[in-house]
Amino acid sequence: MNLPEALVYGAFIALIAGTILPFLYRSKNARKTSFGLSFLSSILLLAFAGIILYTGKEPVFPAFRFLPGLDFTLAADRLSAGFILLIAAVVPGVSIYSVEYVEHAKSEAQKNFWAALTNLFILAMLMVVLAGNMVGFLVFWEIMSLSSLMLALHDYTSEENKKAGLFYFIMTSLSTAFLFMGFISLFSLTGSAEFGKLNYPASVLTLPFLCLFTGFGIKAGIVPFHKWLPYAHPAAPSSISALMSGVMLKVAIYGFLRFLLSVSAPELWWGTLILVAGSLSAVLGVIYALKESDIKRLLAYSSIENIGIIFLGIGLFLIFKLEGLQTLALLSLAGACFHAFNHALFKSLLFLCAGSVVHATGTRSIEAFGGLVKRMPHTAAFFLIGSVSIAGLPPTNGFVSELMLFQAYFYSSTVPDPLLKVLLIITLSVFALTSALAATLFVKLFGITFLALPRTKCAKEATEVPKPMLLGEALPAAFCILSGLFSSRILALLGFNLGIPDMLLLGLILAASCGLVWFAVRNSGSSESPRISKETWGCGILTQQPTMEYTSTGFSEPLVVIFKKIYRTEISSTRTYSDTRECIFKEGTARIHLIKFFEERLYLPAASAVSLISFQVSRMQNGKLDTYVLYVFIAVLILITFTRYLA
């Protein structure tokens, strides 16, 4: 057994032990050990991924007999190693954070269940990435889906959680169904369940492409298959939301890339479809995030935006590859993969910080926050790092990956097809709008949550979270900064010399500039002059009140008006007056209702149609054995005919 195999098997053993331990020894120490084992597995996986990425060697694992004629195989190359690195980067912070966070569950059974399933969830995602054939991929895909579903339903007494679980269960079942159809069509074409090169005309791969695009797109959360995210993430514990958004969505990206990179001759419309879907997901995700006042639901919509950016990069890769622009294709693919890695870091950081805020205040409503920077200074600092990163500001990692995609766009003027040029200009404009709105979104989120005065008693009485939770936040925050500052060196080490600016130099310049400004302001004026500290001038009002501050709704209101065609805004108001001539206003109410377009116009009609069909089918169940025998006979005839047709 060589070193890479030993590292992987060690990670397997640690995660399996971490899954079993909380059920055997139901104590706090057992839960701490369980999370310690998941932390250990991430260190082993980090070493494994580093070896594969640096050396390029692909270890050979022995096959395991799953069913007669079907073996379960493990395989690792640089693509899977990159996504294992992503898993290994997120898990340490989540593991440390969960040591304390899990203790706030309602019962001992819930705490043990939570700790065990977290390890199982991580193990399933790892096995999906390492699966060498379709059988193992689907088996562990289902384990990943079911374990995350049970974690999202941890508080099964809540009506909100029940609705979230139903949404998630239906969408993840649809995802698996489409993946199954895609893999079956590939198996019928190749005669093998192994992943490998698909040297076939693109025309015969159209059905597998559409099935896999839909299946992986549902799991990744692209529009219009995104609706489960804003329900599942608020319902799940924050540490699990960090894993779901940071890692699980990227596992779907991995599966889609695994298929695309194996196709020798894709078609141009594939790239166009992916590019358009990514652009729409990015801009609609951030637009819907802007109107949210639930901190976790806002972050869920932001995940849809960033998944859209990743798909946008994948679409650019296919288009440039087919147009013969190999350098731009490589730049786009590297940008998409690097953004997937970066999003895993800053989104897991933001969900962990959001969990700390919710834990300290007891609410997810942004309207109830304010002034938390003075009560939770460390959480505020880590949240600021995550906000700056996701907004794409230098020198953080989010800036670098978005810059790579912008560079690919800027150098695409050599594309010969005029219609493609128009498409690229339109999607570039959408991408630029998305980036600007993302910055606005996190100005709103950080400012209204942490700055100004506390708006409610719960915000006023909030205190900083325990040290393990802070340390769990500190790790991804450090990774966000380091992977930004050393991005050009990291990419060069992996063999991608793409002309990325040196962020370390830019970071030093920015730090020096900020230091000089602070020093100048600090030492301005005479050293003997007294320093006076007064409350900010408030237009003649002596004491500032929380009711004078911007609220989340008030901040978003101009954008809600601008994008009212998308939100389908309905504004209503009522007024009462003190006089009969209606001149002296007494009181009134105003209401802004935003239609849930995809839910009300797409999901609910589809659900009603399925319910109607199910009712009609249920009428066939008359309780007579003769009728059921007839149904079986008809089904066998159809199956024989269908099988003969395929043969």
61-65, 161-165, 396-400, 520-524, range with the lowest pLDDT: 61-65
Structural contact between residues 82 and 118, judged by C-beta atoms closer than 8 angstroms: no
How confident is the model at residue 640, as a pLDDT?
Answer: 81
Tell me: the pLDDT tens digits for 77-94?
Answer: 899 999 999 999 999 999
pLDDT tens for 427-459 read 999 999 999 999 999 999 999 999 988 888 898
* Amino acid 83: pLDDT: 94
Residue 475: the pLDDT is 95
Higher-pLDDT residue of 539 and 142 is 142
Look at residue 549 in the predicted model and tell me its pLDDT. Answer: 78
DSSP bridge partners of 74: 131
More confident of the two residues 520 and 588: 520
Q: Assign residue 495 a region: left if phi > 0, alpha if psi is -120 to 50, beta otherwise?
A: left
Q: Is the pLDDT of residue 381 over 80?
A: yes
Three-state SS for 587?
strand
Cα separation, 426 vs 95, in Å, equals 42
The predicted pLDDT at position 567 comes to 67
Q: CA of 357: how far to CAs of 224, 380, 401, 539, in Å? A: 30, 9, 28, 32
Tell me if 282 sits within 8 A of 312, measured CB to CB: yes
**198 pairs with which residues across the strands?**
263
Render pLDDT for 343-360 as a digit per residue (tens, 0 to 9).
999 999 999 999 999 999
- Backbone dihedral region for residue 569 (phi beyond 0: left; psi -120 to 50: alpha; all else: beta): beta
Closest by alpha carbon to 597, among 280, 364, 212, 163?
280
| 309's tokens | 């950016």
| Percentage with pLDDT > 90 across the chain | 52
Which tokens belong to 37?
């084992």
Please determine, for residue 595, whether its predicted confidence score (pLDDT) is greater than 70. no
Residue pair 137/131 in contact (Cβ under 8 Å)? The answer is yes
Confidence band of 39 (pLDDT split at 50, 70, 90): very high
User: How buried is 449 (Cβ within 10 angstroms: 0-12 exposed, 13-18 middle, 19+ buried)?
Assistant: buried
Is residue 118 within 8 A of residue 370, CB to CB? The reply is no
Name the residue type at position 605: P
Name, of 64-73, 148-157, 374-383, the range with top average pLDDT: 374-383
Quick check: 304 pLDDT over 60?
A: yes
* Amino acid at position 305, single letter: E
Helical H segments across 221-294, by residue range: 229-235, 238-243, 249-260, 268-290
- Per-residue pLDDT tens over the stretch 552-569: 777 887 877 777 777 666
Is the bond preceding residue 224 a cis peptide, omega within 30 degrees? Answer: yes
